[in-house]
Amino acid sequence: MGAHLMPSGEVAPISTSRGAGLGGTPHLFAYPNKDSEAEVIQFGSADTGAQGLCAHVAELADKAIKEKGSFTLVLSGGSLFKALTPLVGQQGVDFSKWHVLFVDERNVPHSSADSNYKGAYDTFLGKVPIPKEQIYAIAEGLPVEAAATEYAGQMLRMDPIVLPRNASGLPVLDLILLGIGPDGHVASLFPNHKELAVKDSWVLSVNNSPKPPPERITMSLPVINAAKAIDVVAFGAGKAEVVQRILEVQSLPGALPAQLVRPEEGKLRWLLDAESSSRLSIMQWQDSKAFPRSS
């Protein structure tokens, strides 16, 4: 592993403006065809990663609230929620201005253990003072196609100052937090599934998810890539193989949904810990023109 990885539990000093304030060690990653780049930030452990993630969320929230009076945060499901717990009790965060959406959701009741809303509520949303009407949950009890249309309707009805549109008419969300599955899926966009190619809808229905439950809704790739900022969050040994496949094994570029996350105008960051980055050869990125440098 590269020398830049800090020992477990330690937060590395930041030596450039990149990643400043987050802790962790920032590296610049350029995709091989050089059409975009990402900042990859390595943390010593999942705990310091969670602290860094929450510091970043709070920083972007503050910036958005100063600029437009509100902050739109978009959540994934699964293991991400645990990493958001440091936000609970965080001082100096104006949660009253936050609007929280879900990049994907399972078509199940809110009380179901499979519900991303429930996972987020139990770990974080229910413990911070975000007004209930500013949490945009999936409607319960609808056929999945109708649930997707209804969710797009919720987004369309949002105040355009809170959720502005870009020149293509797409919503510009302030920050999307994406988890990744072991197959490289993000949101509920799965490898080789037709939803990956959809360009004309904001929210799609999925009725054959390879990961249960089968019925889901998901934001489309164009909506994801229109965001101002995207943090891909992958902590733990279980993510090491897929992280390496996405960032370094480029034999089939674009084959994995996570490789198609390339914000048009926004900033892309990968937040990794010692375990999830353990298969990366980051030192080689510094030596290679394709992978320009780290700080």
The residue with tokens 């072991």 is 182
Please tell me whether residue 49 binds ligand LXAUTJHC under the rule CB under 6 A. no
| Of positions 25, 188, 277, 294, contacts ligand LXAUTJHC by CB under 6 A | 188
What is the side-by-side order of every strand in the sheet holding 203-206?
A: 104-106, 216-219, 203-206
| Dihedral sign from CA coordinates of 136, 83, 94, 223 | negative
| Of positions 77, 86, 184, 257, contacts ligand LXAUTJHC by CB under 6 A | 77
Q: Which of residues 210-229 bind ligand LXAUTJHC (CB under 6 A)?
A: 211
Start-to-end CA distance of the chain, whole Å, equals 17
Please tell me whether residue 236 binds ligand LXAUTJHC under the rule CB under 6 A. no
Picking from 193, 258, 267, the residue whose alpha carbon sits closest to that of residue 226 is 267
- Which residue's Cβ has the minimum distance to ligand LXAUTJHC? 78
| Of positions 8, 36, 79, 278, contacts ligand LXAUTJHC by CB under 6 A | 79
When the beta carbons of 42 and 188 are compared against ligand LXAUTJHC, the nearer one is: 188
Smallest separation (angstroms) from ligand LXAUTJHC to the CB of 285: 25
Please tell me whether residue 276 binds ligand LXAUTJHC under the rule CB under 6 A. no
62 in the Ramachandran plot: left (φ > 0), alpha (ψ -120 to 50) or beta? Answer: alpha
Please tell me whether residue 275 binds ligand LXAUTJHC under the rule CB under 6 A. no
Residue 16 — φ and ψ, nearest 5°? -135, 175
Residue 13 — φ and ψ, nearest 5°? -70, 150
Please tell me whether residue 231 binds ligand LXAUTJHC under the rule CB under 6 A. no
When the beta carbons of 134 and 188 are compared against ligand LXAUTJHC, the nearer one is: 188
Where does the chain show beta strands of DSSP type E?
Answer: 25-30, 37-43, 71-75, 98-102, 104-106, 175-178, 203-206, 216-219, 229-234, 267-273
The site map against ligand LXAUTJHC for 57-76 (x = CB under 6 A) is: -------------------x
The residues that touch ligand LXAUTJHC, with contacts defined as CB under 6 A, are 76-79, 104, 116, 179, 181, 187-188, 211
